[in-house]
A and B are shown apart, each in its own frame.
Chain A
Amino acid sequence: MAILVLAEHDNKELKPATLHAVGAAAKIGGDIHVLVAGSGCGSVADAAAKIGGVSKVLKADDAALGNGLAENVAPVILDVAKNYSHIIGPATTTWKNILPRVAALLDVQQISDIIGVIDADTFNRPIYAGNAIATVKSSDSIRIITARGTAFDKAPADGGSAGIEDIAAKGDSGLSSFVSAEVSKSDRPELTAARVVVSGGRALGSTEGFKIIEELADKLNAAIGASRAAVDAGYVPNDYQVGQTGKNVAPELYIAIGISGAIQHLAGMKDSKVIVAINKDADAPIFGIADYGLVGDLFQIVPELTSKL
C-alpha cells in the first residue's frame, strides 16, 4: 500500500501545507510518495525529496502545469492513481479545486477536509461548519482525501533522501487558460502556519483602524486574520479571512479583536490552543469560547497591550 501526497507550492518553494499532508499520510501508514506538478519546479521537487518519511518524489514539469489549472493537472494524477491506495492533498484552494475532478474521473467519492485518521478507510471530518464531527468509512478502492493542515503535525522538512522520478505531463486541455494573479504581499508568517494570530473584525471601523492590529502583530511576530465582516467592508484582503468560508487556523495563541464570534468565524479558529477576546460587548458569543476575555474599548486596550509587551 502506497500513499500519494500532492505538493502545495508556487513552482519555487514547497509550502508548509505539504508537510501537514505528509503528516496525515504518516498516520495512515505505508510508503509515502509526493507528486510535484508544476513548471520549472525542480527546486520544489528537491525540497520534497528531503521530507522525512517520503520514499519517492514524482515530478511532472511542464509549462501546462505552471498555473495549477485543474483541467491540466487532474490527468497527470489520474495517470498514476492506480498505483496508490490513498491520494491526499492539503485542504488548500489548489487541491480543493483539483482533487474532486480526479475523484469523479476515478468514480470515487472524495473525503474532504479530514481532521483525524481512524484506520486506512475511516476518517473524521467536520460538518455543519464544525458543529458536528462525522466519522465516515470509505468503500472505494482508492481513497481520495483532502487533509486539514492544522489537524496534523508537520512531517520533518529534513532528513529524507528520496529519489526523484520524472513523469509525463498530459499537455494542455484547451478548456481553460490562466489570465493573471493578484497576490497579496506580506512579510508576516503565513496565516495557517503561524504560532500567533491576531485577528480583527468590523469594530476596527476602517483600514486605518486595522493599523493597531498590525502593530500588535508585529510585536508578537504574528499573522493577521480577519472576520468576514472586516473583509467585506474592505478593511483587509479576502485571503485574511478566518472561518468556514476562509481559512482554518489552530495557532497556539489567537487574539480576536472586535470580533463578535459568529459560528462561521468560530468554525475556523476554535481549535486554537489559547483564545483571547477583546470586545466592548460583554455578551458577545466570542467570550463563550475565549480562555481570556477583556471587555472594553479596543482602541484603548490594543495600543496599551502592544506597548506593554
Chain B
Amino acid sequence: MKILVPVKRAVDYSVKIRVKADGTGVDLNNVKMSMNPFDEIAVEEAVRLKEAGKATEIVVVSIGPAKAQDVIRTAMAVGADRGILVQTDAPTDIGGVEPLAVAKILKAIVEGEKPDMIIMGKQSIDDDSNQTGQMLAALLGWGQATFASKVEIDGGNAKVTREVDGGLETVSVKLPAIVTTDLRLNEPRYAALPNIMKAKSKPMETKTPADYGVDVAPRLSVVKVAEPAKRQGGGKVSSVDELIDKLKNEAKVL
C-alpha cells in the first residue's frame, strides 16, 4: 500500500505571532517555522503503518516556498521515502494558496501517484481552516475519515475512530480514502541524527502549481488582519471570600 502525506510549513506552534502594523497580515519575518503539528502526526501514522507491514511506500508533498523542502526532509528523516515540493511564493496562511487550490493540486498529484490512502492533518495552525482533506476527498470522489484518533487497516477498508463533539465515533471507509489526523492519534517521534543525514539523499522532485494546471488565485481577498480585542486581566484577589464578593457585587455573575 502506498500512502501520500501532505505536510505544511507553518509558524511554529510555540511562537507568539504579531500582526503587521499595516493590517495586511501576520509578520512571519525571522519567525521560527516548523511542520504543522497535525501533519507530524500524519507522518508518524504513515510510518507506523509501514513498520507494521501495511504500507510499502510513503510519499510526502508540500506546497509552499523553497524553504518548505525543510519540512519534507523532516518527514523523510522519520521514515518517508520520497518528496514532492510544489513551489510557490504565494502566501500559504491567508491571501494566497487557499485550501481549495491546495486540494486541486493534491488531486492532480494523486492522479499521477495513485496512492491507496492519504493521511493528512485536520487543520493547519496558521489559517485554522480545517478544509483541505475534506475538499480533496470530494474532488477525488473518495471516502473521508476526519479527526482520527485511531486507524486500523482492515482488508480493503480503514476502520477509523473519530473525535466528534459528543465523544467518539467509529466509521469504516473503503480504500482508497482520506484520513485527517487529530491530536490524540499518536505521539510523533523525533528524527535521529543519522536519519536526518540519510534523509538528505532521499529523492525530492520540485514542481510548480502550473505543472498541474491549477490556478491558485485566491477566492477570498484579505480586507485586513487585526489584533483581537485585548482583555484587561491581571486583577488578583486574596481570599475566597473576596472572590465571591467580587463575583456577586462587581461582576454580577453569581
Chain A residues in contact with chain B, CB under 8 A? 10, 67, 69-71, 74, 92-94, 96-105, 107-113, 118, 122, 126-140, 173-184, 196, 220, 228, 231-232, 237-239, 244-245, 247, 252-253, 263-264, 270, 273-276, 287-295, 301, 304-305, 308-309
| Closest A-B pairs by Cβ, 10 of them | A175-B143, A100-B134, A104-B135, A109-B219, A100-B131, A104-B138, A289-B233, A179-B170, A135-B223, A176-B143
Which residue from chain A places its CB closest to the CB of B169 in the assembled complex? Answer: A181
What is the minimal beta-carbon distance from B166 to any residue of chain A, in angstroms?
5
B100 in contact (CB, < 8 A): yes
Q: Using Cβ atoms and an 8 Å threshold, which residues of chain B touch A98? A: 134
Q: A97-B146, A238-B184, A288-B234 are in contact. Are A181 and B240 (CB under 8 A)?
A: no
29 A-B pairs with C-beta separation under 8 A: A70-B146, A94-B164, A100-B135, A100-B138, A102-B138, A104-B100, A104-B136, A105-B139, A109-B219, A122-B223, A126-B228, A127-B126, A132-B225, A134-B224, A136-B223, A139-B220, A175-B141, A178-B169, A180-B169, A244-B125, A274-B247, A275-B233, A287-B234, A292-B237, A292-B247, A293-B237, A294-B239, A301-B240, A308-B241
Contact, CB under 8 Å: A288 / B233 = yes
Residues of B within 8 A of A110 (CB): 99-100, 129, 131
Interface of A is mostly: mixed
Q: How distant is A261 from chain B, measured CB to nearest CB, in Å?
A: 10
User: Do A134 and B165 touch (CB < 8 A)?
Assistant: no
Cross-chain contact B177 with A175 (CB below 8 angstroms): yes
Instruction: Given A109-B100, A253-B247, answer yes or no on A294-B237 (Cβ-Cβ < 8 Å).
Output: yes
Known: A99-B134, A132-B26, A138-B219. 15 other contacts (CB 8 A): A69-B171, A104-B100, A104-B135, A107-B100, A110-B99, A135-B222, A173-B143, A181-B168, A182-B167, A232-B184, A238-B149, A252-B253, A253-B253, A274-B253, A290-B235
- Chain B hits for A139, CB < 8 A: 219-221
Name the CB-closest residue of B to A111. Answer: B220
Most buried by A among B13, B141, B167, B182: B167
Given contacts A69-B171, A104-B134, contact A292 B16 (CB under 8 A): no
Q: Are B128 and A244 within 8 A (Cβ)?
A: yes
Nearest chain B CB to A287 CB, angstrom units: 6
Q: What residues on B are CB-neighbors of A196 within 8 Å? A: 253
A291 touches B223 (CB 8 A): no
Q: Is the CB of A239 within 8 A of B253?
A: no
Question: Is B58 among interface residues, defined by CB-CB distance under 8 A?
Answer: no
C-alpha spacing A291/B182, complex, angstroms: 32
Q: A101-B138, A293-B237, A294-B240 are in contact. Are A138 and B220 (CB under 8 A)?
A: yes
Q: Which residues of A are found within 8 Å of B189, using beta-carbon distances?
A: none
Residues of B with C-beta under 8 A to A107 = 100
0 or 1 for each of B116-152: is its CB under 8 Å from A? (1 = yes): 0000000001111111111111110111111101000
Contact B130 A100 (CB under 8 A): yes
| In contact, B166 and A184 (Cβ under 8 angstroms) | yes
In the complex, whether B218 has a CB less than 8 A from a CB of chain A is yes
Q: Which residue in B98, B218, B228, B246 is a CB contact (below 8 Å) of A133?
A: B228
